[in-house]
């Protein structure tokens, strides 16, 4: 009989916070789990980003094999990024493998899983879900049941409260939603009795993005605040502790527990307007409409406050937009050699002839020379206020990815210094205090997240050199299933009480993703609006 397994994702969790708080008695459950289980840092993918991170964790392969590099993809022949969906994933996920093995699986709130996969069990999609219209839950009958029995269920806490400056309201909404999510999960577990449950606390990421400066006196924009705001990050980690206990109890006795994060976290100081930098280097030319782009945030913030989201989505779908309807609409493509395509992607594309519709860079020698030059210049880019370099490393796609979809990756990828975030929009300045739609943004991603394995299958040990892609092989080993031959990750055998010996098998035939959009025009517009609100466009 398979021992039940609970996989909990803590988006952005870091030992840099959990460790000291656990030692100080503020997080007693984490302290006990760490003392009794196997734990260590978990290296993220490059860039340290939600879509490739969680997709790598739940497939066991690098982005060059699963095809997810960002919230968006820039397809050949297009100058406007397209929002990705689960159909863009070309490698089988853990839940597909478990269903193939005859196991019942529950999946909830895992980012970038819309539309829902048909699993043996239940599935509720997470971040990247446009709304309650399409296939956001499986089986289909669960959609009506959830909406009627859990009317307060939402697809994430209301981030608009942050951009309106209502930080207290956001925390209230977050705690309300967390309670609803856990209650719903307990109900689903009782009815479906899954062998494996996977759930992600993804709004932890938002709390650290926007509340870091209130707890960190060393932050350049530190601001003393009332206890609820000043200790918001700690309090939500404590709330997650209660959730861990609750969900573990729901899965029954003798449950194995896997805690992980897709990346770590740390303080954020400064925004870098990388397209402005590229323009100053003579690689990008702004169109005349770029001046409107500078004014746009002022009136757009007002519009976001006054115009309901549903109306904004309708306008996006039905009214002919200005060039600024595209995040890259301020670019004069005929005079541009390179551009930064996405707030989230930490990536630079070259404007290649035959790939981009108005390409200016010849493939081959010209492409390679320009890419090498930009790599060197990005590595040398400094903050004039501090003299510090804003990138820790810059990679070509071939240096960090391998597999059949490397050609879909950006040309250059930046491993940033986490104190700096990169902006895609146009600006007259290269650098500015980090913000998002007028709200101060003071925390950002780091490379190393957390891993903790606890339960009957695991011993007390330090795990070293673990990577996100090791999750799925290790989970399969814990369940006594073969590891995928195609997987890049390894079984973390040092964490097991009894060394696993599961063999290998090929799971490639379980997934046939097309790499084409599964979103209709309305879903694309609605999801783009959400991602803009979260700061990813």
Digitized pLDDT (tens) for each residue of the chain, 537 residues in all: 579 999 999 999 999 999 999 999 999 999 999 999 999 999 999 999 999 999 999 999 999 999 999 999 988 888 888 899 999 999 999 999 999 999 999 999 999 999 999 999 999 999 999 999 999 999 999 999 999 999 999 999 998 899 899 999 999 999 999 999 999 999 999 999 999 999 999 999 999 999 999 999 999 999 999 999 999 999 999 999 999 999 999 999 899 999 999 999 999 999 999 999 999 999 999 998 665 555 555 445 444 555 565 555 554 555 444 444 577 889 999 999 999 998 777 899 999 999 999 999 999 999 999 999 999 999 999 999 999 999 999 999 999 999 999 999 999 999 988 999 999 999 989 999 999 877 999 999 999 999 999 999 999 999 999 999 999 999 999 999 999 999 999 999 999 999 898 799 999 999 754 444 566 666 766 666 666 555 555
Q: Is there a single domain that holds both residue 367 and residue 395? A: yes
Q: Is there a single domain that holds both residue 451 and residue 436? A: no
Q: Is there a single domain that holds both residue 394 and residue 465? A: no
Q: Is there a single domain that holds both residue 187 and residue 245? A: yes
> Sign of the CA dihedral 433, 434, 435, 441?
negative
CB 507 within 8 A of CB 91: no
Helices (H), 307-424: 309-318, 365-380, 397-400
Q: Is there a single domain that holds both residue 481 and residue 355? A: no
Q: Is there a single domain that holds both residue 182 and residue 278? A: no
Q: Is there a single domain that holds both residue 175 and residue 309? A: no
Nearest C-alpha neighbor of 273 from the set 61, 388, 480, 423: 423
Domain carrying residue 209: 5-267+445-533
- Which of 425, 441, 457 is the C-terminal boundary of a domain? 441
Q: What is the widest separation between alpha-carbon atoms in the chain? A: 67
Q: What angle do CA 62, 68, 73 make, to 5 degrees?
A: 145
pTM exceeds 0.75 for this model: yes
How many structural domains compose the chain?
A: 2
- Which of 395, 410, 441 is the C-terminal boundary of a domain? 441
Q: Is there a single domain that holds both residue 352 and residue 424? A: yes
Q: Is there a single domain that holds both residue 239 and residue 252? A: yes
Q: Is there a single domain that holds both residue 176 and residue 254? A: yes
Q: What's the rounded Cα separation, in Å, for the pair 519 and 529?
A: 14
Neighbours of 347 (CB within 10 A): 25
- Which of 441, 475, 509 is the C-terminal boundary of a domain? 441
Q: Is there a single domain that holds both residue 434 and residue 465? A: no
Q: Is there a single domain that holds both residue 240 and residue 276? A: no
User: What CATH number should be reported for the domain holding residue 225?
Assistant: 3.40.720.10
């Amino acid at each position: 009989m398979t021992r039940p397994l609970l996989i909990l994702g803590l988006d952005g969790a870091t030992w840099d916070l959990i460790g000291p708080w656990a030692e100080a008695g503020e997080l007693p459950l984490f302290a006990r789990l760490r003392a009794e289980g196997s734990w260590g840092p978990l290296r993220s993918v490059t860039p340290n980003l939600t879509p490739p991170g969680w997709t790598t964790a739940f497939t066991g392969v690098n982005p060059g094999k699963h095809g997810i590099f960002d919230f968006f993809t820039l397809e050949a022949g297009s100058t406007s990024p397209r929002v990705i969906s689960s159909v863009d994933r070309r490698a089988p996920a853990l839940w597909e493998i478990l269903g193939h093995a005859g196991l019942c699986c529950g999946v909830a709130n895992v980012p970038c899983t819309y539309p829902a996969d048909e699993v043996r069990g239940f599935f509720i999609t997470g971040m990247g879900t446009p709304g309650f219209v399409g296939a956001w839950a499986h089986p289909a009958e669960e959609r009506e049941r959830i909406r009627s029995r859990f009317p307060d269920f939402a697809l994430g806490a209301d981030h608009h409260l942050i951009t309106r400056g209502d930080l207290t309201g956001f925390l209230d909404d977050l705690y309300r939603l967390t309670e609803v999510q856990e209650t719903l999960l307990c109900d689903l577990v009782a009815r479906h009795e899954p062998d494996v449950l996977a759930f992600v606390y993804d709004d932890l990421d938002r709390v650290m993005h926007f509340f870091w400066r209130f707890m960190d006196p060393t932050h350049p924009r530190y601001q003393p605040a009332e206890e609820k705001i000043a200790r918001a990050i700690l309090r939500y980690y404590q709330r997650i502790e209660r959730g861990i206990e609750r969900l573990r109890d729901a899965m029954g006795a003798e449950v194995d527990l896997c805690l992980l994060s897709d990346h770590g976290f740390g303080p954020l100081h400064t925004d870098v307007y990388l397209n402005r930098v590229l323009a100053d280097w003579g690689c990008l030319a702004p169109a005349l409409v770029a001046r409107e782009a500078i004014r746009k945030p002022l009136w757009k913030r007002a519009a976001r406050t006054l115009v309901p989201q549903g109306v904004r989505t309708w306008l996006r779908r039905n009214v002919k937009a200005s060039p600024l309807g595209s995040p890259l609409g301020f670019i004069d493509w005929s005079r541009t050699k390179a551009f930064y395509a996405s707030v989230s992607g930490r990536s630079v594309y070259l404007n290649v002839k035959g790939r981009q519709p108005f390409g200016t860079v010849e493939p081959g020698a010209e492409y390679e020379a320009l890419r090498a030059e930009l790599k060197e210049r990005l590595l040398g880019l400094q903050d004039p206020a501090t003299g510090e370099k804003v990138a820790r490393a810059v990679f070509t796609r071939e240096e960090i990815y391998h597999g059949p979809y490397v050609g879909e990756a950006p040309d250059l990828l930046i491993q940033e210094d986490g104190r700096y975030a990169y902006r895609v929009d146009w600006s007259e300045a290269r650098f500015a205090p980090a913000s998002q739609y007028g709200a101060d943004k003071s925390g950002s991603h780091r490379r190393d997240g957390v891993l903790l394995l606890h339960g009957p299958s695991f011993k007390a040990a330090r795990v070293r050199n673990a990577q996100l892609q090791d999750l799925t092989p290790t989970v399969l080993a814990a369940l006594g299933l073969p590891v995928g031959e195609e997987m890049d990750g390894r079984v973390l055998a040092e964490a097991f009480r009894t060394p696993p010996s599961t063999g290998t098998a090929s799971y490639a035939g379980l997934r046939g993703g097309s790499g084409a959009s599964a979103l209709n025009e309305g879903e694309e517009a609605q999801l783009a609006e959400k991602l803009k609100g979260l700061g990813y466009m």
